[in-house]
Structure 1
């Protein structure tokens, strides 16, 4: 793109994320900030608000609705990148139509931040690991509750605001609403973060593939490098077996009931405590072990991960960022969270089952109330 093209003002009729209303928007200062097989991402400035946005431009197949657009129009969460507008444009060839998603612009990614620490032979400070992972699990709890599986969780798709430590999940180009019994492609998700059931060719998998990927991200932040750096699809399984050991027939059956090849060398699992440096806290290692399990149903649900003791520091009064700013909002309301005052909680708490209580905990704004509910939850799980 030439400087002249970058400085020109582009005016289009765009649709708002919610509803069918359209409005004219103008943007300028467009420059390419990313590209791939999906298309191109531009950074641009909206003239009306002077706001910096990202514009993701992808070739649209006229025969189908764009799945990414359909999914993003359903989403409204503080830890998911916001879709502001969308519009269509024509390409150089007369039949080419492009979908343009106008998204909020977030300047950094977990991937780039982690690489900077790695170049200095350091790991990301533990408080940041907790902040990033908690917000990731919170976003996963939200989309999984809607039946949406992201299918490409990796550090590159975790946007960061370095000043506030707010994390936002992005790139729903591979996302899909999973329906039990309906087949899905198994060749999905970036290799280092690909769940073993996908490597075994499963087509009836669940949203727990995202949990495996999140476990890989957590392990990578603690290690300073990918935990399973496979050089191919098969080698990826080898890297997993090196640490988790050879999966049993029962585990393979749960990953993919149709898999019939069982000729694997018998490798014993590695102790998780030996995988990480001695200074990595035991609760972090425990959380990793509960995420990276061969059996999908045994992996922690994202909401359970949010309640893990590894994140207790985030719930403590007085915890602040290293720059002395307050923590980002971690317990703020979402459209699915409704504030319940303390009196109401007291009156109904014994009538609620643990699952509902967990969902309430995720969306409270009041930290003390959150801690109270979590304490009750822990008590109920042990009675």
Structure 2
């Protein structure tokens, strides 16, 4: 049973809904099936299995009086967004704590590492982040070969100008490594995750501002670390989390 619209755009409409059988809250993404285009979103969502991607629970088709066909994806419902968090702090005339910036960006990059060879245009992140400038860079870089240098310079200047003196040196270090013009100099996802900017997330004593612990950040699957140098793996997974990795066969 659909309760309210929580998102809409050129892709379709997203409803907050409740499963009448179980009482579980879900999201339903309703997408028009345009016969002129091949929609691979259902195929893609069936393939995805990652903590930072909403899970597909069910799907069904529906039609309208105009005989329009819609695909309805029943997805895991995530009530919070980074946009709402930012607005919350803006209303209080405060800056969002840097620990949230680190956490959200870490999860986005962690997801890039996992799905680097998938068509991520169709992927719905659990962390719809304010770092869309960086995400957009990756999308543009893979789809537009011309004007790369101009695009990279523009985004870098945007990030630096937005934070300038307030931007920690570790953040400048990370951004500068992500926005390198040459692919050989640009950090891979795993290399980005071990940068000093994220060291606080690896500290077992660090907590969120509300006192809660972090969500799982080191639950890599074996194929995610395949081929990674041991020095990266050792730094990526702190000592206090290595027993979890042993259980996963890493």
Does the alignment pair 1:61 with 2:3?
A: no
User: CA–CA distance in 2 between the matches of 1:136 and 1:42?
Assistant: 24
Q: Deviations over 1:8-29 (max 9, x none)?
A: xxxxxxxxxxxxxxxxxxxx24
- 2:59 aligned residue: 86
- The offset of 1:354, in angstroms, is 4.3
- The offset of 1:360, in angstroms, is 8.4
Report SS of the residue matched to 2:6: strand
Q: Deviations over 1:250-294 (max 9, x none)?
A: xxxxxxxxxxxxxxxxxxxx9x5x763434321111111111233
Question: Contact 1:30/1:42 (CA < 8 Å) preserved in 2?
Answer: yes
Task: State which of 87, 109, 116 in structure 2 corresponds to 1:137.
Answer: 109
- 1:42 aligned residue: 15
Distance 1:307 1:102, change over 3 A: same
Q: Give the structure-2-normalised TM-score.
A: 0.77
1:223-372 matched pairs, under 5 angstroms: 240=154, 243=157, 276-334=163-221, 336=223, 354-355=228-229, 358=232, 367-369=240-242
User: CA–CA distance in 2 between the matches of 1:59 and 1:86?
Assistant: 14
- 2:247 aligned residue: none
Report SS of the residue matched to 2:44: helix
Does the alignment pair 1:51 with 2:24?
A: yes
Distance 1:134 1:333, change over 3 A: same
Q: Deviations over 1:74-127 (max 9, x none)?
A: 110111111111111112222x21111111111121122223334444322111
User: CA–CA distance in 2 between the matches of 1:168 and 1:365?
Assistant: 26
- Which structure has more RCO (C-alpha within 8 Å, separation ≥ 6)? 2
Report SS of the residue matched to 2:115: helix
1:209-228 matched pairs, under 5 angstroms: none
Distance 1:292 1:149, change over 3 A: farther
- The offset of 1:332, in angstroms, is 2.1
User: CA–CA distance in 1 between the matches of 2:43 and 2:34?
Assistant: 14
User: CA–CA distance in 1 between the matches of 2:22 and 2:37?
Assistant: 33
- 1:122 aligned residue: 94
Q: Give the structure-1-normalised TM-score.
A: 0.52
Does the alignment pair 1:75 with 2:48?
A: yes
User: CA–CA distance in 2 between the matches of 1:116 and 1:134?
Assistant: 21
User: CA–CA distance in 2 between the matches of 1:353 and 1:336?
Assistant: 9
Report SS of the residue matched to 1:195: helix
Where does structure 1 lack aligned partners over 5 or more consecutive residues? 1-27, 160-166, 170-189, 210-235, 245-269, 339-351, 371-383
Does the alignment pair 1:97 with 2:69?
A: yes
Distance 1:75 1:81, change over 3 A: same
CA RMSD across the alignment = 4.0
User: CA–CA distance in 1 between the matches of 2:214 and 2:18?
Assistant: 28
Report SS of the residue matched to 2:96: coil
- The offset of 1:320, in angstroms, is 1.4
Asked which structure has the greater CA Rg, the reply is 1
